[in-house]
Structure 1
């Protein structure tokens, strides 16, 4: 489990390190997320979780990245509880990662099926009128390609079950 945690979140931890911005095709998932003004809370939570290990660049991940607005939907009491419990925080962050690179073409083919996240939680994928939902989260931007996978932006924080 420890190695899964380290591997799953190492890509986000890279965002905490200062480095020159590589070309778009060369950016890691961490650098893609770090370059977004809409993901500051996600990055802060990664730091709070103590996930400072870095990914060597190998591995393929799909990350469903909740925006700051998605985190603001969570009541302050719940968010404070999560911040105070590193294991719960890590589990929630793992709930946003899937092993492998799942571009929008692959995700759309999962309509009506479940996808299992690195936390072990499963979410049903639904597609209706060009709207893709993963559980209760709507995909608002897709296929932000990285050297080690892909990021899909979502409007709701996925909670482990």
Structure 2
């Protein structure tokens, strides 16, 4: 009887380990790094080669502790190229300590206080007739739409970002990688 219990326990442990492995493999790679569903938004972003500017900005804006917290958060995470597309000198200027509040405002306009996977966002867009308002932690309202099978987000200035990698599951929410920095109304 003890041997049977041990076999059942070993099988249950193996099934649990395999399902955990399958879940890790289901999470997309971002910036050449594996994203782990048991790590938080900041821990995973720090491993992405495509998000070094975003991580530096989050640090400069003193948002590391917040985005490492329990959430849930949905973060629309611009890649380095999105920051590079801003006018020359913009990123360097925003990273200065005296511009911390402005930087925090921009960054929190990429954060929603919910765990919204792409299928849920797509359903909200459809339910709202093609455009769904997305209020952010920073007080901005983004407009979510579908462009074919891709989600787009329009900021308050008419800038449009496309979700290029969706549903990167985190322990405290989800990251959707985007190709443009979203800006609050001027």
Question: Could you say which TM-score interval applies, normalised by the shorter chain?
Answer: 0.7 to 0.9
Match for 1:41 among 18, 31, 53? 53
Secondary structure, counterpart of 1:24 in structure 2: coil
Matched, 1:26 2:38: yes
Equivalent-residue separation in structure 1 for 2:152 and 2:64 (angstroms): 30
**Aligned length in residues:** 139
Q: Offset at 1:51?
A: 3.5
Q: Which runs of 5+ in 2 are unaligned?
A: 1-34, 126-130, 155-159
1:150 equivalent in alignment to 2:174: yes
What CA distance in whole angstroms lies between the structure 1 residues aligned with 2:68 and 2:165? 26
Distance 1:55 1:90 in 2: 12
1:95-133, Cα deviation, whole Å (9 max, x unpaired): 110001000111112321110111111111110211210
Higher helix share: 2
Q: C-alpha separation between the residues in 2 aligned to 1:63 and 1:72?
A: 19
Structure of higher CA gyration radius: 2
Measured in 1, the distance between the counterparts of 2:153 and 2:64 equals: 28
1:101 aligns with 2:115: yes
Q: Higher relative contact order by CA 8 Å / sep ≥ 6: 1 or 2? A: 1
Which one of the candidate residues 73, 86, 89 is aligned to 1:77?
89
Cα shift at 1:79 = 2.6
Separation in structure 2 between the aligned mates of residue 30 and residue 147 of structure 1, nearest angstrom: 10
Aligned pairs for 1:87-126 within 5 A: 87-111=101-125, 112-126=131-145
